[in-house]
Amino acid sequence: MELIEVAGAGAGPYGVAVGADGGVWFTLVHGGEIGRLAPDGTVERFGLGAAGCGPAVIAAGPDGAMWFSRLRDHRIGRIDAGGAATSFALPTADSGPYGIAAGPDGALWFTESNANRVGRITVDGEVTEYPLPVDGAFPSLITAGPDGALWCTLHQADAVARVATDGEVTVHRLPARGTAPVGIAAGADGALWYVGIGGGLVGRITVDGKVTEYPLADRSAKPHAIAAGPDGRLWFTEWGAGRIGVLAPDDRPDGHPIPGERAEPHGIAVAPDGTVYAALERGQIARLEAGG
């Protein structure tokens, strides 16, 4: 595992995603910046003109740019490959946008953690919001599913929601109270995979709502985000344990400890070649070679 210094510890690397340009893009949630780790190891950081905006989760958009949530000033941001950034205000005040992902319809979809909604934004900045049918659900991360819909975790409702592109919402309750799901990703097996930060587990939900859960050996590991690799493995961050976990198909979870103390891994992404990247809040990006 390689640890790459990208910022001071106070800047807080948080979200991470691989761009169409081959760069690894990351958010600095406390520093109000977006960073890019180039394939040659060069690190660039781009200010957003609002130090307290709280850039959180980042995703590659259908237009070749990177799109990200601005949690603290309630906007959706866009940054192009050259570092030029813009942002779009949301209709609902204090909505707390958090998770974001490209949808199957050529738009970006995001969660509004404070407003209990899911939103859709076109690449031109047109926003539509859809309320969730569960009060106080705290929608968290979101991903495009294999069924043409969006799927998001409802952190405080112990549930996963399916959101059709017309805004119709179906809620699937999870088996146990206190699971507190956050991360979610589409797996190579045609199902959705989530991690329960409260339950210390990895879960699998089929598109018809059947749930299977895999408890971690360390139930206090606080798994936070999850991403699917090209070989079918699922990679996830263990925020509380300072590890990068991995779940192979039909296998038990295992992990890779991150050297040093207080790594606090949050976002995770897998490149097309299988290389794994995790954002460490102490100021680093962890890089794990394919097959590691």
CA-to-CA distance for 51 and 86, rounded, in angstroms?
A: 14
Residue type, 10: G
User: How deeply is 67 buried, as exposed, middle or buried, from its count of CB atoms within 10 A (0-12, 13-18, 19+)?
Assistant: buried
Q: Torsions phi, psi of 158, nearest 5?
A: 50, 55
Task: Output the CA angle 121-139-220, nearest 5 degrees.
Answer: 135
CA-to-CA distance for 51 and 20, rounded, in angstroms?
A: 26
Question: Please, are residues 53 and 72 in contact by the beta-carbon 8 Å criterion?
Answer: yes
Question: Please, are residues 181 and 190 in contact by the beta-carbon 8 Å criterion?
Answer: no
266 catalytic? Reply is yes
The token pair at 261 is 């103390």
The residue from 30, 74, 224, 266 that is catalytic is: 266
CA-to-CA distance for 242 and 159, rounded, in angstroms?
A: 26
User: How deeply is 105 buried, as exposed, middle or buried, from its count of CB atoms within 10 A (0-12, 13-18, 19+)?
Assistant: middle
Question: Please, are residues 221 and 199 in contact by the beta-carbon 8 Å criterion?
Answer: no
CA-to-CA distance for 120 and 127, rounded, in angstroms?
A: 6
Q: Which residues are catalytic?
A: 266
